[in-house]
Copies of this chain bind each other. A is one copy, B any other.
Amino acid sequence: MKIKVINPNTTLSMTAKIGEAAASVAAPGTEVVAVSPRMGPVSIEGHYDEAISAIGVIDEVRRGEEEGFDGYLIACFDDPGLAAAREIAKGPVVGIAEAAMHTASYISGGFTVVATLHRSRIILEHLARAYGMDHKCRKVRTTSLAVLDLEVEGSDAQSVIFEECRRAIAEDGSDCIVLGCAGMADLVAAIHKEVGVPVIDGVTAGVKVLEGLIGLGVTTSRLGGYAHPLKKTYIGSMAQYQPD
């Protein structure tokens, strides 16, 4: 099976890191292709970046349908464009936030999400609630780290994240860490070693969720709210996204 992992931001070093993480857990026979869109922000920090990045996600899913992918993983913890992508992809589409939180729920009595900038907190709290995971997510911890700080060699990003993970265990009563940014996908082992509890990264979790769905032969229901977009006219710069 072929899975397209879409890093909705356009920072290719992060895409490479995400691709490596995804490939590291892919089953034999699973081909993982990690891409960044041709357009959009270099990082996604807030609702505005997120709304813009959805176009890139859509663009990559549309191209992916022609390229013959069996499923898609949206590799930003805001899950941008997730519902829209479900309407246009034949195969299943999964976001890393939903994948990480549902996956954590199988092995944890209560987890903490450790994310980047404080401004993302309400986005992640909203997602936890929308996914029904608010009773499992004891806290969303945010930091002073920008997403791209995670790409800088020698930054203190790792130590900041470690500190929040330690506090998650000590103060939140959590028994599991969920990494709240795709850019942390390479930190799983180090954090696990540091805090000794399971660490769930949405990129790797999402690959396994997709392998599962594709393996089951199920895909997004076409009956209800995720039916294919209706044929209609799109004008102006968005005409290119007009549904077929």
Q: Which A73-115 residues have C-beta < 8 A from chain B?
A: 81, 83-84, 86-88, 92, 94, 98, 102-103, 105-110
Q: In the docked arrangement, what's the CA distance between A208 and B102, Å? A: 14
Interface size class of A (residues with CB under 8 A): 35 or more
Partner of A221, one of B40, B43, B107: B107
Q: A154 interface residue, CB < 8 Å from B?
A: no
CB within 8 Å for A234 and B41 given contacts A204-B216, A225-B119: yes
Partner of A105, one of B81, B102, B118, B197: B102
Q: A213 interface residue, CB < 8 Å from B?
A: yes
Query: Copy number in this complex?
Result: 6
| 16 extra A-B contacts, CB within 8 A, seeds A86-B107, A92-B107 | A10-B235, A39-B234, A39-B238, A39-B239, A41-B232, A41-B233, A46-B225, A55-B237, A56-B238, A119-B224, A119-B227, A120-B225, A122-B224, A129-B130, A198-B221, A211-B211
Asked if B221 and A39 make an inter-chain contact with CB atoms under 8 angstroms apart, the answer reads no
27 A–B contacts, CB within 8 A, in A order: A10-B236, A27-B27, A27-B29, A27-B211, A28-B29, A40-B234, A40-B236, A40-B238, A41-B234, A45-B230, A47-B225, A48-B87, A49-B232, A51-B81, A52-B234, A86-B107, A92-B107, A105-B131, A105-B132, A107-B220, A109-B121, A109-B225, A110-B225, A121-B173, A199-B218, A200-B216, A208-B215
